[in-house]
Amino acid sequence: MREAIRQRMWFALFASCTAVVAAPVVVIAGLLLWRGLPALDWAFLSTPPAPGMREGGILPAIVGTLWLAAGTTAVALAFGLPAGIYLSEYAPRGALTRAVRLAIVNLAGVPSIVYGLFGLAVFVLLLKRVTGGMSIISGSLTLGFLILPVVITATEEALLAVPQTLRQASVALGATRWQTTVRVVLPNAAPGILTGFIIGLARAAGETAPIMFTAAYFYLRHLPTSLQDGVMALPYHLYVVATQIPNYPAAKAWGTALVLVALVFAMNLGAVLTRARLRRRRRW
């Protein structure tokens, strides 16, 4: 009986922690909708800003953010997925592997502004020929590297969670390690891998510092036509209109924030639903 009471107490405590964590999300969502919805209309979403920024819309920033999101996903997938697979399935126990793990944790602690400076030095200046200077490519590479630690860690954890028995069965049936990894382990780890992407992409879409020097302009008249073009981006746009422009209509600033969060939410939603469905199919 005492055990049961103790359990109730602990669980109640955990529930309150959860409430404290979840509450701000509700509050922020509420604030955004309340303050930002009035500013949203079709014109706001589909036209570029007018001279003086106080009128007109945010279309180029929306498009720019989408481009950057796509690019970041590509980079994170291209580097993070193989890295996670390597660490989980192939890496031998040893100093090198341990160093790699240490490197990943350290990368997570590097300030976003340092990534921005790194991106500036390497992608914008050094590799100007390839990336076109301040451009979608430079921004995507910088952001992709920024979220690498989260993506790799989530991938690795997801792969490790797949029971050894599945691998053993596969090998017993004659498959090579590669085939086992790709056809057996990976599909089963998909939900966890998606978690990494969800968190990573959400973060990347909202970052300002890394794109300030590598991709984001305050004002461009035209939408990007190639990956080497610079773009306007919602986080930077939000930062500037809310802090640098006197008498900018507050509703528009909230509206911009609302659009940004809604965009990320939409990107997440697809991933979350897919993950839920994949989880149900899990076989252990």
Partner 1 sequence: MQRRAANWAEFLGEKLLFCFGISALVLLLLIFLMLLKEGVPVFQHTAPTAFLLGHRWLPLSDIFGILPLLLGSLLVTLAASVIALLLGIPTAVFISEVAPRRLREVLKPLIEMLAAVPSVALGFVGLVVVGPLLREWLGLDSGLTALTGAVTLAFMSLPTIVSIADDAIGAVPSSYRDASLALGATHWQTIRRVLLPAARRGIFAAGMLGIGRAIGETMTVMMVTGNAAVIPKWPPLCRFWEAMAEFPGLEGFRATLDYLLAPYFDSVRTMTATIGAEMGEVVWHSGHYHALFAIGLVLFLITFFVNLAADLAVGRR
Partner 2 sequence: MKVMGAVACLALVTAALLGTGLMVPGCGRGGPETEGVRATPGVSGPRGRIEVKGSDTMVNLGQHWAATLMERHPEVEVAVAGGGSGTGIAALINGTTDIAQASRAMEEEEKEAARARGVEPHEVVMGTDAIVVAVHPSNAVDRLTIDQLSDIFIGKVKNWSEVGGRRAPILLLSRERNSGTHVFFLEHVLRKGDKEGKQEYAAEARMMPATQAIVDEIAVSENAIGYLGMGYLDKSKIKPVGVAKTAAGPYVEPTQETAASGEYPISRPLLWYVNGEPQGVVKAFLDFALSDEGQKIVADEGFVGIAR
Q: Which does 34 bind (CB under 5 to 8 A by kind): partner 1, partner 2, none?
A: none
Give the one entry of partner 2, partner 1, none that residue 142 binds, where binding means its C-beta sits below a cut-off of 5 to 8 angstroms depending on kind. none
Between 89 and 222, CB nearer to partner 1: 89
Binding-site partner at residue 57 among partner 2, partner 1, none, CB < 5 to 8 Å by type: none
Looking only at residues 142 through 181 of this chain, which bind partner 2 when binding is defined by CB under 8 A? none
Say if CB 147 and CB 203 are below 8 A apart: yes
Residue 43 or residue 183: which is nearer to partner 1 going by CB?
A: 183
Nearer to partner 2, 14 or 219 (CB): 219
Counting contacts by CB under 8 A, is residue 28 touching partner 2? no
CA-based torsion, 89, 85, 83, 160: positive or negative:
negative
Whole-angstrom distance, CA of residue 122 vs CA of residue 143: 13
The answer to the question of residue 263 lying near partner 2 (CB under 8 A) is: no
Tokens of 161: 């969670």
Say how far apart CA 53 and CA 96 lie, in whole Å.
52
283 near partner 2, judged by CB under 8 A: no
Tokens in use for 153? 């860690």
> Where does this chain touch partner 2 (CB under 8 A) — which range of 31-39, 70-78, 94-102, 167-175?
70-78
Q: What DSSP assignment string belongs to 145-162?
A: HHTHHHHHHHHHHHHHHS
CA distance 275 to 175: 27
Q: Which stretch binds partner 2 (CB under 8 A): 49-57, 95-103, 198-206, 269-277?
A: 49-57
* Cβ proximity to partner 1, 136 vs 148, nearer residue: 148
Q: Does 133 bind partner 2 (CB under 8 A)?
A: yes
Which DSSP helix (H) or strand (E) runs through 16? helix 2-36
C-alpha distances in angstroms, 117 versus 140, 152, 191, 210, 272? Answer: 14, 23, 33, 7, 33
Q: Which residues bind partner 2 (CB under 8 A)?
A: 49-53, 74-75, 77-78, 81-82, 128-134, 137, 182-183, 186-187, 190, 212-213, 216-222, 225-230, 240, 242-247
